[in-house]
Each structure stands twice: as C-alpha cells, then as structure tokens.
Amino acid sequence: MSEHISSQKHDGTTEDQIMVRVQNLKKHFPITKGVIWSKQVGAVKAVNNVSFDIMKGETLGVVGESGCGKSTTGRAILSLLKPTSGKVFLEDIEITALKDEELRHLRPRMQMIFQDSYDSLNPRHSVAKIIAEPMVVNKTGSPREIRDRVMELLELVGLNPNHAVRYPHEFSGGQRQRINIAKALALNPEFIVCDEPISALDVSIQAQIVNLFQDLQEQLGLTYLFIAHDLSMVQHISHRVAVMYLGQIMELTSCKNLSDNPLHPYTQSLMSAVPIPDPKQELNRTRIILEGEVPSPTNLPRGCVFHNRCPIAQDICTDQVPEYREVIPNHFLACHLADDKGGSSIAA
Amino acid sequence: MTKILSVKNLVIKFYTFDGVVHALNNVSFDLEEGETLAIVGESGSGKSVSMLSLLHLLPMPPAKIENGEAYFYGNEEEPVDLLKLNRSGISKIRGGKIGFIFQDALSALNPVMTIGRQISESIIEHLGLSHAKAKEKTIELLKRVGIPGARQRYDNFPHQFSGGMRQRVMIAVSMACTPKIVIADEPTTALDVTVQAQIVDLTKELQKEFNIAVVWITHDLGVVAGMADRVLVMYAGSPVEIANAQDLYSNPQHPYTIGLMNALPNVKGDGDSRLASIDGIPPDLMDEPRHCQFAWRCPHAFDRCWEEIPQQVSVGENHVVSCFFDVENGRPKENV
C-alpha cells in the first residue's frame, strides 16, 4: 500500500515539494486489566494504517466523526503521542526515529493549535509572556528582540500590541484563538497542525479566524494539517481533504473532487448529511441517512470497517480489508466497490 | 393556523456581583400550532434564556424577569401567562404540555435512574396512568424513537447509551405526554453530522405525527434551513429579524443576518474565495443598551443607530426587522 504511494512519488519530480510524509502510521492505546500484575487485554485502535503526503504550502483537511482518530493522527505526526508503528517524515528527516533531544531541536519547525483556546493558555501569564515563552525556551534572541517580536506577532494576528500586558480571561474566544496562533508562529514554523481551531467559535468569528489562517499561509508560506468536523469549513480552507472513519482514511482527494465526485459510500453519506444553508436546496435534496452508529475502535469489524453501516455492502466487504490506493490520479480510496459506484470515471 | 404561544416584550436581567447583565431586551414573538420556529444567534445572544425563562428554569436570583408576558393557549381553559404561574401551576405544564430537549443529554438525564422510569415518571404524573400502563406506553415510545430492543433497554441507565441514542431518549421524554410545544435547545450541537441528520429527521416525523409546535434553538444556519418554517435571529439579547425561512435566506434584511449568511462557506466552494467576516466582537452585555446593539459592527451604521434602539418594523408578509437602515435601497428608512 505505502510502496504504491511512495513509488509513485519517488520517481516524480514532486519529491522536493513534500513537506510531511506519513507512512502506515498506527497508534493503539493499550487497555490493561489488574493493578499489580496488570496485563494488556486489548487495544483502542485509534489510528490504523494511515498514509498520506502533505505538500509544501498546502492545507490538508482531515474530517470525520468524533472518535475517528483525526486528533490522534495530528498528535502522532508531531510525536506528541509516540506512534505504535509507522514512519513520519518532515521533509527528509524521519521524525519517528529521532531521539528526544534531536526531536526538541526540530520542534520549532512544527507547531500545533488546539481547539480550546482557553485551556491552552496559562491563565497566570500575560499575553506577552505566553507568546514570548517559546522564544525564551529556545533562546532565539535578547529580551529586547523577543519583545519586539511579540509586538510584531500580535499585529500579525490582528490584535492590538497594547493588549500584550493583559491576561487570557480578558479576551473573547476569537481573540484567544488569535493569541494561540501568535504563540504557534513565534518560532517561524513551517508546518502547523490545527486541531479543530474554530469549532468552539461563533459563526461570525469563525470566518475571521479562517481568513486569518489563509492570510498567514499566503504571507508566510505555511503548511497546515487542518482537523475539523465541519465539512463545509474544511472544504473552504483546504486544498485536499482526507475523510477518516474508525482510524482509517476512507478517501483523500481535492476539495473539488470531493464535492463533485465523492467515490466512497461513507463520503457520499457524509456529504449528504451536511446541512446546506438554503431552504430551497434542502427541500429538493435526498439524504443518505446511515443506520446505526460508529462501532467501537477496540473491536473493529472484520473486513472493511464501514461494512456494517454501508448501504451497498457486499460479501467481499465483510471478508477482506479494502486496499487504500490511488484509483484515479490524485484520488485515494479504500473501497472494494468503488468501480460500481463511481461509474466510468474510475475506468483508468 | 391558531396561536399556541405569544411572548410579548420580555425583558430579563441577571443581577450579578459584577453588575447587571442585560440578557434579554424586549423580545416578542408568536408561535403557531404545529410549526417549527428556529431561534438563531451566537453564544450569549439570549436564545436559550428566552426559552428557559418561560418554564421557570432560570435560577432566580440572579435572573429577574423585569417585564413581559407569555401567553400559552394550549390549555383547555383560557390562556395562561406562563410567567405569572406559581410553582405547582408551571409543574402541570412543564414536561406535560410543553416538553424540553436539552443539548447535553447525559447531564439532563438522571444517571442513577433507569431511562424507562425517567420516561414513565412523567406519563404517570401528567397523564395519570397506572405504572403498568405507563411502562407499556414507554416501551412503545422507545420503539417509536428508534431504540432497538426497547423492552430490554427499559431497564438500562443513561451511561449505557451512546450520544445519539441518549438524544433519542431525550426526545422520548419530551414527547411522552403528547405536548403542544417542544423546546429543543441545541439538541444536535454535540452530535456528529450523520447522527444529527437522524435526529432532525426523527423530530420532524414525530412533530407531524402529533402536531407539535417545535422551537429549535441553534447557532447552525444549515440545520435551520432544512427544518424551520420561521426563523427568529437574535443578537446580544435583542431580536433583529423574524421571517419565513425561505424569505430569510433569499432576502435577508438586517445587516447582521446578511453578515451571517456571507460568513458561511459554500459547500461547493473551491477554497479560493475569502469569507466575508463580520468585523469586531459582540458587545458587552453589562452595558445597558442605549442604541442598536449591532451598531459597532454594522457597515451601514449612521447617526441615528447610535442614538435610539430600533423597534421591530414589518417589511413584508411575516417579515419583521429591527433596523433603521433600508438595505435594499441603500439609505436610511423613512417613516420609522
């Protein structure tokens, strides 16, 4: 599976443009029983064999329902959680093979922004101290240089530099998220994992933050992994989108392909469940409503993980795990029946 | 259509140690039998407070109803003002004639009581059925809301259900006594989109079956488009626009509503265009409103917006807007 993807990229000229490469990433959380002689009795398979590339300057969106492993994927890529197996590369450096000390030197190049803007800011530190902290830890300059940089960052994310002396509780949710973005940008990272950065914000504020993300990407050439469950927002900000279900990628393709020609039955039902803010369109639309709920990741279904909710499942789906492959150029898919559903477009 | 609920000039303030929070300023609306009214607004806009206050579910103090009346026409006798009822009076209506679905089903359900008993409790209380009959009715209800193995699940506790299933149980609780009105406070916000679609569909079905008026409180303009007949848009404790759903989406008249619509991404979008955001942040509710609450962020604000509070003005059939500016013609309204 990974050989297929990597070989395809290895002989291409795109090699130097890949920012992050993820190969067969797995993250299993052990379930143990007993206190003194504890032994492992099972595992929560949060992320199961995920492979993809993120190009330089690209935004890759990751969508999926809660518990599908999208946040775990983000954290495992940054080695905030140690992956169970699999490899992650940042350009040509294998992150997963680094020792702690080496990893620490690499950290400034990759950052993370969390959903809860309040919990990720120290309530006892002023905004200036919060934003300066990564620079102080990494000794990037003299105190005066760092202070100038803090002011510059505040302006960059659209906050008043005079507010640097204030504390997190004095800001609204949207402003706090701007502080988080400034903090993440402090060390001039190249790659940022954004874990549901706008989910907790009101609609009118969401638009402000999304625009800020896009402006920063244009100005600084950032690469984003943008995790969210709001499909319409993800499609707006991303260049390509990966749809995850039960720890696996079901489909990965460009936004345009995803809305015009979704091939996976799960993607199709997900797209049809997303409400459209227009009563006329809503009236005439047929919804594919999935039966039941997501199975437990401790006890994955045999074969295709989606087969027990899939409206078109066949015998092969319960027996064999579908291969994650590039069915048409730049359109990755894990489904046995894609040919039947997608029609002539998958003929190649 | 007959009116089932009529709220007039509702004003609610919270008296806190830090000062007075002006949570609701002069909210009026009507609810017709069997219709779906969506209340849309950002956090803190007063959409939940307006509904909680009707059923005496707000902690008082700090909350205080300063003004207003809310006539409920669902009783056999003459209409009653919900806000003036005493404790036993409201208990007869709450859970019986008016049901409530909360956002967080896990904390709304009693964790140490089986879900069967939680549903049959209100049936016994409001409809006066015997325990055995209430149990049968409960099991039927559980089947109706799509819980597999209803008879076995009767004796389960809330934690044994998944999020979507718990919300189904909440719906069963709220609809157990065939109410006239069901108030749904962000019932799908905590759910995934595929489950959200299931819950919205179920609510619509039951609403049609029992002819229930539904008040759907949400911040998601997408969900509203799919299910609401009429929409009330709130901003900072004031109603800014009330209109039929079709009208509101095709022809929004208040600058705030227009801003909200433009801030939504297009599902078919290619990611190149920018979202039109509304600059600034919502006002501090601690300040007493003396002028239009949206003036700070409004692209059309002029002198008058900073001097008076706009009143609700009808701009079409079933279309009421609180704004001094005529967006269509791009100039201040005359004779307002």
Q: How many CB atoms lie within 10 A of CB A87?
A: 16
- A13 or B152: which carries more pLDDT confidence? B152
- Gap between the terminal Cα atoms of chain A: 18
Cβ atoms B276, B263 nearer than 8 A = yes
Tell me how close the Cα of B260 comes to any Cα of chain A, in angstroms.
6
In this complex, which of B226, B276, B281 lies closest to A275 when CB atoms are compared? Answer: B226
A39: β partners: A33
Where residue B196 falls among pLDDT bands split at 50, 70, 90? confident
B281 CB neighbours in chain A (<8 A) are 172, 174-175, 205
Q: 206-235 in A: which are within 8 Å (CB) of B?
A: 206-208, 210-211, 214, 229, 231-233, 235
Interface check A273 vs B, CB under 8 A? yes
Cβ contact B194–A231 (<8 Å):
no
Rounded Cα distance, A47 and A50, in Å: 7
CB pairs under 8 A between A and B: 132
B249 CB neighbours in chain A (<8 A) are 277-280
Interface check B278 vs A, CB under 8 A? yes
Interface check B42 vs A, CB under 8 A? yes
Structure tokens at B325: 């500016």
**If you write DSSP's letter for every residue of A102-167 in order, what string do you get?**
HHHHHGGGEEEE-S-TTTTS-TTS-HHHHHHHHHHHTT-S-HHHHHHHHHHHHHHTT--GGGGGS-
Share of chain A above pLDDT 70, in %: 93
Where residue A10 falls among pLDDT bands split at 50, 70, 90? very low
Cβ atoms A223, A20 nearer than 8 A = yes
Q: A183 to each of A56, A128, A160, A286, how far by Cα in Å?
A: 21, 10, 15, 44
Average pLDDT over residues B130-154: 88
Average pLDDT over residues B259-282: 73
Angle of the A173-185 helix axis to the A127-137 helix axis, nearest 10 = 20
Rounded Cα distance, A284 and A288, in Å: 13
Structure tokens at A142: 């003299």
Interface check A256 vs B, CB under 8 A? yes
Contacts (Cβ under 8 Å, ≥6 apart) of A14: A55
Cβ atoms A68, A294 nearer than 8 A = yes
B279 CB neighbours in chain A (<8 A) are 208
pLDDT at B267: 56
Average pLDDT over residues A142-151: 91
pLDDT at B216: 92
Rounded Cα distance, A154 and B155, in Å: 56
Segment among A137-151, A183-197, A331-345 with least mean pLDDT: A331-345
pLDDT for A346 beyond 50: no
Q: How many CB atoms lie within 10 A of CB A217?
A: 17
Cβ atoms A42, A207 nearer than 8 A = no
Q: 153-182 in B: which are within 8 Å (CB) of A?
A: 162, 164-165
Q: For residue A170, what is the nearest residue in chain B, using CA coordinates?
A: B284
In this complex, which of B265, B268, B270 lies closest to A233 when CB atoms are compared? Answer: B265
Positive or negative, the Cα torsion across A233, A237, A241, A247?
negative
Residue B5 identity = L
SS3 call for A35: coil
pLDDT for A303 beyond 90: no
pLDDT at A343: 42
Of B330, B263, B186, the C-alpha closest to A174 is B263
Cβ contact A231–B193 (<8 Å):
yes
A236 CB neighbours in chain B (<8 A) are 265-266, 269, 271, 275
Cβ atoms A1, A49 nearer than 8 A = yes
In this complex, which of B197, B246, B269 lies closest to A287 when CB atoms are compared? Answer: B197
B219 CB neighbours in chain A (<8 A) are 202-203
Substitution target from B40, B218, B248, B267 for chain A, most A beta carbons within 10 A: B267
pLDDT at A8: 40
In this complex, which of A202, A256, A275 lies closest to B222 when CB atoms are compared? Answer: A275
Rg of chain B in Å (alpha carbons): 21
Rounded Cα distance, A50 and A226, in Å: 16
B225 CB neighbours in chain A (<8 A) are 275-279, 281-282
CA angle B141, B145, B151 (to 5 degrees): 55
Q: For residue B246, what is the nearest residue in chain A, using CA coordinates?
A: A279
Share of chain A above pLDDT 90, in %: 30
SS3 call for B302: coil
What letter does residue B244 receive in the DSSP assignment? E
pLDDT for A341 beyond 60: no
Buried b (16+ CB within 10 A) or exposed e, B278-317: beebbbebeeeeebbbbbbbbebbeebbeeeebebeebee
The DSSP H or E segment spanning B192 is none
Q: Which tens digit of pLDDT belongs to each residue from A21-48?
A: 999 999 999 888 888 888 888 888 889 8
B197 CB neighbours in chain A (<8 A) are 272-273, 287, 289
Average pLDDT over residues A79-97: 90
In this complex, which of B162, B226, B271 lies closest to A235 when CB atoms are compared? Answer: B271
In this complex, which of B162, B268, B270 lies closest to A293 when CB atoms are compared? Answer: B162
* % helix, strand, coil for chain B, step of 5: 35, 25, 40
Rounded Cα distance, A319 and A307, in Å: 10
Q: Which tens digit of pLDDT belongs to each residue from B21-66?
A: 888 888 888 888 889 999 998 888 888 888 888 888 888 888 888 8
What letter does residue B94 receive in the DSSP assignment? B
pLDDT at B268: 54
Q: How far is CA A328 from the centre of its chain?
A: 23
Cβ atoms A253, A61 nearer than 8 A = no
A279 CB neighbours in chain B (<8 A) are 225-226, 228, 245-246, 249
Average pLDDT over residues B79-87: 85
Task: Read off the pTM.
Answer: 0.82
Rounded Cα distance, A323 and A339, in Å: 13
Rounded Cα distance, A73 and B289, in Å: 47
Q: For residue A230, what is the nearest residue in chain B, using CA coordinates?
A: B193
A212 CB neighbours in chain B (<8 A) are none
Angle of the B115-127 helix axis to the B131-144 helix axis, nearest 10 = 120
Rounded Cα distance, B195 and B186, in Å: 14
The DSSP H or E segment spanning A85 is strand A85-90
Average pLDDT over residues B268-278: 66
Where residue A2 falls among pLDDT bands split at 50, 70, 90? very low
CA angle A3, A58, A82 (to 5 degrees): 55
Cα pseudo-dihedral A99, A101, A105, A106, rounded to 10 = 20
- Gap between the terminal Cα atoms of chain B: 29
Q: A344 to each of A167, A261, A328, A340, how far by Cα in Å?
A: 58, 12, 11, 9
Place of tokens 């450096």: A93
Structure tokens at B188: 């799908």
Cβ atoms A273, A92 nearer than 8 A = no
pLDDT at A86: 92
pLDDT at A193: 94
Substitution target from B202, B220, B230, B277 for chain A, most A beta carbons within 10 A: B277
Of B266, B262, B221, B277, the C-alpha closest to B245 is B221
SS3 call for A91: coil
Where residue A6 falls among pLDDT bands split at 50, 70, 90? very low
Cβ contact B278–A282 (<8 Å):
no
The DSSP H or E segment spanning B102 is none
SS3 call for A191: strand
Cβ atoms B293, B255 nearer than 8 A = no
Q: 276-335 in A: which are within 8 Å (CB) of B?
A: 276-282, 287, 289-290, 293-294
Cβ contact B267–A276 (<8 Å):
yes
A239 CB neighbours in chain B (<8 A) are 271
Q: For residue A268, what is the nearest residue in chain B, using CA coordinates?
A: B194
